[in-house]
A and B are shown apart, each in its own frame.
Chain A
Amino acid sequence: MKRKLSGGNAAFLAPMYLFTVVFLIGPFVYMLVLSFLTRAETWGVVNSFTLRNYRRILEPLYFNTFVESVKLAVLVTALVAALGYPFGYYMAKLPPKRRGTMLMLVMIPFYTSSLMRLYGWIIVLRANGLLDKLLMALHITSAPLKILYTYPAVAVGMVYALLPFMMLSVYSSVEKMDWALVEAARDMGATPARAFLTVTLPLTMPGLMTGVILTFVPSMGLFFVADILGGNKIVLVGSLIQEQLMKVHDQPFAAALSVIMMLMMTVMIWLYRRVTGSGEMEGVI
C-alpha cells in the first residue's frame, strides 16, 4: 500500500525527522568517523585514517573485557527472567484493582535516582550491614560476609535495576493472552505443566523476549553499578568506554568500542525479530 503524505502530515512529521537526524544519526556518524581517526600525542584527535582502534579491540585485554561483559549480561538476564517471568505472570492474573496497585508498587521505587538506590544496597550489603546483622541474628552466619565489592554484589545490583523491565513486558504479554486457548488445552487432557509449555509460554514469548532485550542490552553498559557495588574491580565495556573518554582521553578508541557495542546490540535486536517473528517490541513500541 502506498501512502502519500499530505502537506499537513509532513509538517507534523518534520520535527520528528529533524530530531532523529540531529540527535541520533548525527552523533552516530560523528562517532563512526571518530573511531577511524588517530589519537593526538597529547590532547585531542588527529585527522589521519587508521584501523588501529579496531585492531586494538582484538587484543586479549580488551577482547576479554567484552567476553566478561557478555557473561555478566547473560547471567543477569537469566536471573531477571527467572524472577521476573513468574512475577509478571501472577501480576497479570490478579483482579484488575489489585493489579493496578501492584503495578504502582513495582514502579514507585524507580522514581528515585538509581544512584540513591545503589547506595541503599551498600548499606544492606556492607560488612556488619543490614544483611550481615540479619544473618548473624538468625545464627546462619557467625562472621560478617564480605559481599559488598564482589561479583555477586554487582549481579544483585544489576538484577535489581533491570527486574521491572522484565516484569512489565511479561505482564503486558500475559495480560492480553487468550485464556480460552489454555482451557482448550486442559480440556483435551493436557497437564497444567504441559498446557503452560505448549500454549502459555509460546504465546507470551514476545513479552519474555522483549524483557530479555531490555535487560541484556543495558546490562552491558551499566558501568556505574560495577563501579559502586563492585568497587571498580569488575571492568565492563561500559567502564572501559567511560575511562577511555574521561581519564585516558583516547576519544577514537572510545568511539570504536562504542561502535562495536552498538553492533552487538543491533545483532541482539535482529535475533529478537527472528525469534519472535515480529517487528515490534511487546508493550514497548
Chain B
Amino acid sequence: MKKTLSLILVLTLCLTLFAGCGGSGKAESTAPAEDTQSAPAPDPSGGTLNIYTWAEMFDQDVLDGFEAETGIKINYTNFDYDETMLEKLEAAKGGDYDLVIADDYIIETVIAEGLAQKLDKSKIPNFGNINPVYQGQFYDPTDEYTVPYGAGVQTIAYDPAAVSVPVTGYADLWDESFRDSIAITANFRVMLGMALKVLGYSYNTNDLAQIDEAAELFYKLADNIRLIKDDNVQDDLISGEVSAAVMYTSQVTMAKLNKPELEVVYPKEGIGFGIMGMFVPSQAPNADAAHLFIDYILRPEISAKSFEYLGYYCTTKAADDLISEEFKDFLVLPAEFKAEDMEMIGNISPEAAAREEEIWIEFRNRCGQ
C-alpha cells in the first residue's frame, strides 16, 4: 500500500518536473492556444477572413471594427514561429489562409516557393500610405507581394543612473564599466551583428574571414553579458538587474512605458531592422477579403491604433502624426534618421550561418564562465 502511494507520488513528480519543458520557449506568452484550429474550413458564402499570424497582433477593437463594417467574419489562427507558418502553408499548398503576417526573411522563402500571390493594388487605395523607408527591401524588392505591418529595430536602452560612460553606439558596450550588467536577446544574427557593425561590415556578410574577425571581438563582450533571453528581457532592465540592454522595439516600448527615465540609443554604427509583412497566400480562399483588410489597416487612424497596441515602428507614414505623444518617441523614426543607416538582416549562406551558430554557442559558454 505504501509502495503504491510512493509510486503515485513519484509519478506525479515526474509529470510536474517535465511539465515545464514544452512551454519554456514562449513561457511568458499569454497566447491562448497554439495552432488550435489547423486548416480552417473555407466558408462558401465568402464571408470569412482567415488570418494566420502570431498571437496578439491586433487590438480587438480594430478586428471588431472590420467585422462590423464589412460583415466579414475574422477567423484568427496563430503560430509561435515563422517556420511553423511556412510548414503549414507548404502543407496547404498556399491555401487555407487568406492573410498571413510573418517576418521578412521567411517571406523571402514563401515568395520563392510560389506560396504568395501578387497583390491587386487597385483594391488597396491606401497603398500610398506606406512609409517608403520600409518598402523595396530584399524580400520583396518591387513591393508586389507584401505590405509592411510594423518594423522592429534593435536599439540599446540603458538606465542613465547606473551607467557611467556616454553610450552612442554598440562599441560602447565593450566598456569595462559594463562588466556583468548587459542583457541581450537570443538572436545570434543580431548579436554577432553588433560586432560586425563595429568592424564596419555588413550584417549579411558571407565572408568567413570577416565573421571570424567579428567573433574574436564578440568573445571579448562575454564578460559584460549578464543575461541572454528573448522574452521579456525588458523586465530585467526595469528591475535594475541589468543596466543596459540590446533589445527589440516592442521590448523598448514596454520598458519605456514602465520606466520613462530610460535612455534609448540608435547605435551610431547603424541599425539592423526587421519588418513584418502582410501577404496573401497563392491559393487564398478569400483573397478579396484579405485585400479589404489590408486597405482597412492602412487607414491612418487604424494604423495608429494598431501600432500603439503592437509597440512596433509605425510602417504607415500617413499614421505617424496620429501616434500619441506618449508613444511617438519610440514608434516613429526620428526626423534625423537616414534610411541608409539601416540594414535589413537577410538570409546568409549555409556555411556562414553554420559558422555563426557555432560562434554563438562558444560565446554563451564564455559568458557562463
B229 at the interface (CB under 8 A from A): yes
- CB within 8 Å: A-B pair count: 115
A76 at the interface (CB under 8 A from B): no
Question: Smallest CB–CB gap between A133 and chain B, Å?
Answer: 14
| Cβ-neighbour of A43 out of B3, B10, B86 (below 8 A) | B86
A233 at the interface (CB under 8 A from B): yes
Helix, strand, loop or mixed for chain B's interface?
helix
Residues of A in contact with B, size category: 35 or more
| Cβ-neighbour of A231 out of B5, B229, B240, B358 (below 8 A) | B229
Question: Smallest CB–CB gap between B211 and chain A, Å?
Answer: 15
Supposing A127-B241, A164-B13, A228-B24 touch, asked if A284 and B7 sit within 8 A by C-beta, the answer is: yes
A146 pairs with B226, CB closer than 8 A = yes
| Cβ-neighbour of A233 out of B12, B18, B83, B364 (below 8 A) | B364
Q: Residues of A contacting B226 with CB < 8 Å?
A: 146, 149, 231
Interface string of B333-369 (1 = CB under 8 A from A): 0000000000000000010000001100110110110
B36 at the interface (CB under 8 A from A): no
Interface string of B293-317 (1 = CB under 8 A from A): 0000000000000000000000000
Q: Residues of A contacting B241 with CB < 8 Å?
A: 126-127, 148-149
Question: A4 to B16, alpha carbons, bound, how many Å?
Answer: 39
B322 at the interface (CB under 8 A from A): no
A115 pairs with B229, CB closer than 8 A = no
Q: Residues of B contacting A234 with CB < 8 Å?
A: 364, 368
Supposing A41-B350, A151-B368, A235-B368 touch, asked if A115 and B27 sit within 8 A by C-beta, the answer is: yes
B window 162-197: CB within 8 A of A: 180, 183, 186
Supposing A61-B362, A146-B226 touch, asked if A246 and B239 sit within 8 A by C-beta, the answer is: no
B16 pairs with A233, CB closer than 8 A = no
B132 at the interface (CB under 8 A from A): no
**6 nearest A-B residue pairs (beta carbon):** A231-B227, A224-B24, A232-B228, A233-B368, A114-B20, A233-B367
Q: Given contacts A111-B12, A172-B2, A283-B10, could you give 4 more A-B pairs where the C-beta distance is less than 8 Å?
A: A41-B350, A107-B12, A171-B6, A283-B6
Q: List 20 A-B contacts (CB under 8 A).
A: A42-B109, A61-B361, A62-B361, A107-B12, A107-B13, A112-B16, A113-B19, A113-B20, A162-B17, A168-B9, A214-B10, A227-B24, A231-B227, A231-B229, A231-B367, A232-B186, A234-B368, A246-B25, A246-B81, A283-B10
